[in-house]
């Protein structure tokens, strides 16, 4: 479902969009695509930040576990 909305953009942004689009000039589709791409990347960034926070919070324990596992390796 699509909902019509109104946004205000600078003339420079509109000109840049029009240069990219050429003759097709479907600004709505272009802006929707750009926003979806931004939201996907932003969501990934937030997930990565959350994962890093969890890793940092548990880093000492995880490092101890890794060191313990390494002691079980067989020497050649």
Domain extent, residue 59, equals 11-70
CA distances from 23 to 7, 15, 18, 26, 27 (A): 22, 13, 8, 9, 11
C-alpha radius of gyration, the chain, whole number: 24
Q: Which tens digit of pLDDT belongs to each residue from 17-73?
A: 999 999 888 999 999 999 999 999 999 999 999 999 999 999 999 999 999 888 887
| CB contact at 8 A, 62 and 52 | no
pLDDT reported for residue 24: 81
In a domain, 65, yes or no: yes
In a domain, 60, yes or no: yes
**Separation between Cα atoms, residue 25 and residue 16, nearest integer Å:** 11
In a domain, 76, yes or no: no
In a domain, 2, yes or no: no
Q: Output the CA torsion 18→21→23→24 (10° steps).
A: -120
In a domain, 44, yes or no: yes
In a domain, 53, yes or no: yes
Tally of structural domains, the chain = 1
In a domain, 6, yes or no: no
């Amino acid at each position: 479902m699509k909902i019509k909305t109104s946004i205000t953009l600078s003339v420079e942004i509109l000109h840049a969009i029009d240069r990219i689009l050429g003759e097709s000039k479907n600004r709505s589709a272009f802006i929707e695509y750009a926003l979806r791409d931004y939201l996907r990347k932003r969501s990934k960034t937030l997930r990565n930040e959350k994962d890093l926070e969890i890793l940092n919070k548990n880093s000492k324990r995880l490092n101890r576990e890794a060191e313990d596992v390494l002691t079980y390796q067989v020497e050649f």
